[in-house]
Amino acid sequence: MESRLEVPINASVRHVHLSTEHVSALFGSDHKLTIHSQLSQPGQYACEETVTLVGLKHSIPNVRILGPERKETQVEISRTDEFTLGIDAPVRASGELDGTPGLTLVGLYGKVELQRGVIRALRHIHMSPEDAVRFGVQDRDWAMVRVGGERGIIFDDVLVRVSPLFRLDMHVDTDEANAADLHPGAMGTLISQPTLVKPEPND
């Protein structure tokens, strides 16, 4: 049975998650990230600090860092960004970094040569356990989401992530958002189980 409950959808602009080691390397010893604004997920925030991404072809300046710090540095970009940088990054769930390419990060006081960690983020929905019950899904299920409008589109293979720490929100990258002509306040409808075209992360 199809769920008609709606999901808010937001574009996730290119950004960087830094390890504690790399925060120090880029911004100075014992530097603490400064909160610029809160994000949709509780405890997550955009930082005042930015870095420059340096690829094989060109660079992208002023890329926002998201906090808090993580165990391993991760860079999330779009396909269009890949063409600019000269990097071929795979579509991955957050944290799935084996076999991913690296690049150079340049900060205020230093730079870091990443050996891996650059991905195009797999489109996904954050849900609380209560939301998951309403939608009839579980953590790491796959969903299909329909977006209406003049450039209406169906997003297949949307990874569902469930945690008590999450707030209902679907994230797509800027290329996907532009293809659907998404605007602030955009909503999508979970319409069915998807036709899976890729293995589940960790398989």
Q: What is the pLDDT of residue 1?
A: 39
2 band by pLDDT with thresholds 50, 70 and 90:
very low
Average pLDDT over residues 126-145: 95
Three-state DSSP state, 6: strand
Q: What is the pLDDT of residue 197?
A: 55
Among 54, 67, 59, 63, which residue's Cα sits nearest to residue 23? 67
Q: What is the mean pLDDT of the chain?
A: 93
Could you tell me the pTM of the whole model?
0.90
pLDDT exceeds 70 at position 11:
yes
127 band by pLDDT with thresholds 50, 70 and 90:
very high
Specify the CATH number of the domain 6-10+123-192: 2.40.40.20
Q: What is the pLDDT of residue 202?
A: 53
Evaluate the CA torsion angle 64, 46, 10, 122 in order and state its sign. Answer: positive
- Cβ-based neighbours of 122, under 8 Å, separated by 6 or more: 91, 92, 93, 94, 157, 159, 201
Indicate where the chain has its CATH 2.40.40.20 domain(s).
Answer: 6-10+123-192
User: Rounded to whole angstroms, what are the CA distances from 138 to 37, 45, 175, 187?
Assistant: 30, 26, 27, 21
Average pLDDT over residues 106-123: 97
Q: What is the pLDDT of residue 203?
A: 47
Percentage of the chain surpassing pLDDT 90?
89
pLDDT exceeds 80 at position 3:
no
Average pLDDT over residues 143-169: 94
pLDDT exceeds 50 at position 107:
yes
